Amino acid sequence: MSSEGEQNQDCLGWAARDVSGYLSPYKFGRRAVGNDDVSLKITHCGVCYADVVCTRNKFGNSKYPVVPGHEIVGVVKEVGSNVDGFKGGDVVGVGTYVNSCRDCDNCNRDLQVHCSKGSVFTFDAIDVDGTITKGGYSTYTVVHQRYCFMIPKDYPAALAAPLLCAGITVYSPMIRHKMNQAGKSLGVIGLGGLGHLAVKFGKAFGLNVTVFSTSMSKKEEALIKLGADKFVISSDQQQMTALANSLDFIIDTAAGDHPFDPYMSLLKTGGALVLVGAPSEIKLSPGSLIRGMKSISGSATGGIKETQEMLNLCATRKIYPEIEVIPIQYINEALERLIKKDVKYRFVIDIENSLK
């Protein structure tokens, strides 16, 4: 790949320079548009907990300066000579990865996010040309056409952003476990950026949805605003016991440590709990799995085909995330609020009108 664009420091972003995670303006270069590339002027970028993790070096491998952001929506301004799916003016999304080997079994099965050679994350990763990827807290980006998604016409760009990580993260395991069949019962642990979208997909699919939370303050939101059927305080043994063996599927979006055995007891025979949050450990009794043939598994975001299907479905069924739009200048406060879970339910940066 050409790296000529690296010489031209014409991309303005916001970056963290050290483990404080504090973001401030930063100029850098993007690569020149190759034959298979799409260049897009970024209009919006969703804020994900991954942005906190990488800017603050939580995993010990951050490559500063870090320009975060992997829920990117923008308008195509230039395409390479081989690009046939996109043209100037199209509204396009970019999600959590911007490259993969395109050759392994997983890539061939539309599981690019699980590329056996490692998918290239949208920011703070090493791309095939040796450069460090920089994310959507920036004015524009250049991405291979294969990793771009068409945002359906009339779907608001700001609302599309959270779908590219939070949305696909809950949609993918729901589809894999056939939880798009009306009448089934879904449990959702945690009502944040991911959880609220799991509830919305569940209701769109005609499921009976129960929300589990540690906070009574979420009750009205869950039942009235999001339309969940039941709301349960997970520490209330009586409420939990009343739901024994009643759920087909549980999607666990909680990031904090919590017990698993009480939730496993709520699953029907053959039921599954899928983990999309990241607690520090999973502890459960083997009997929780053995009795009732239950299973626990994990899930990341989804493949390219599946992500486009989700975007199309959200447009058709009018499934919209609940967002708070912010200017880039507010990002440090927004990340602090995200850590405190003080957002309903996803921040989206208005890049177009604030990053100048």
pLDDT in tens, 71-101: 999 999 999 999 999 999 999 999 999 999 9
Query: Which DSSP letter does residue 180 get?
Result: T
Q: What is the pLDDT of residue 305?
A: 97
Q: What is the pLDDT of residue 278?
A: 86
When pLDDT is averaged across residues 296-303 and rounded to a whole number, the result is 95
Q: How many CB atoms lie within 10 A of CB 201?
A: 25
Task: Report residue 233 as tokens.
Answer: 């305080």
The angle that helices 304-317 and 166-176 make with each other, rounded to 10 degrees, is 100
Counting Cα atoms < 13 Å in the Cβ hemisphere of 244 gives 7
Q: Over 90: is that where the pLDDT of 5 sits?
A: no
The angle that helices 193-204 and 166-176 make with each other, rounded to 10 degrees, is 50
Question: Is domain 167-298 annotated with CATH 3.40.50.720?
Answer: yes
Interior/surface letters 272-287, b for 16+ CB within 10 angstroms, e for the rest: bbbbbbeeeeeebeee
When pLDDT is averaged across residues 215-243 and rounded to a whole number, the result is 95
Please give the Cα distance from 88 to 333 (Å, whole number): 35
**pTM for this one?**
0.94
Burial class from Cβ neighbours inside 10 Å (0-12, 13-18, 19+) for residue 206 reads exposed
Q: Over 90: is that where the pLDDT of 313 sits?
A: yes
Q: What is the pLDDT of residue 255?
A: 86
Q: Report which of 46, 41, 129, 45 is spatially closest to residue 88, judged by C-alpha positions.
A: 41
Please give the Cα distance from 32 to 184 (Å, whole number): 49
Q: What is the pLDDT of residue 128?
A: 86
The residue to which tokens 């490559």 are assigned: 63
Residues facing residue 43 across a β-bridge: none
Q: How many CB atoms lie within 10 A of CB 73?
A: 30
When pLDDT is averaged across residues 317-342 and rounded to a whole number, the result is 97
Topology of domain 11-164+322-350 in CATH is Quinone Oxidoreductase; Chain A, domain 1 (3.90.180)
Confidence of residue 7 (pLDDT cuts 50, 70, 90): low
Domain boundaries, the chain: 11-164+322-350, 167-298
Please give the Cα distance from 336 to 331 (Å, whole number): 9
Q: Over 50: is that where the pLDDT of 55 sits?
A: yes
When pLDDT is averaged across residues 160-175 and rounded to a whole number, the result is 98
Percent of the chain with pLDDT over 90: 94
Q: Are 348 and 162 in contact (CB under 8 A)?
A: yes
Percent of the chain with pLDDT over 70: 98
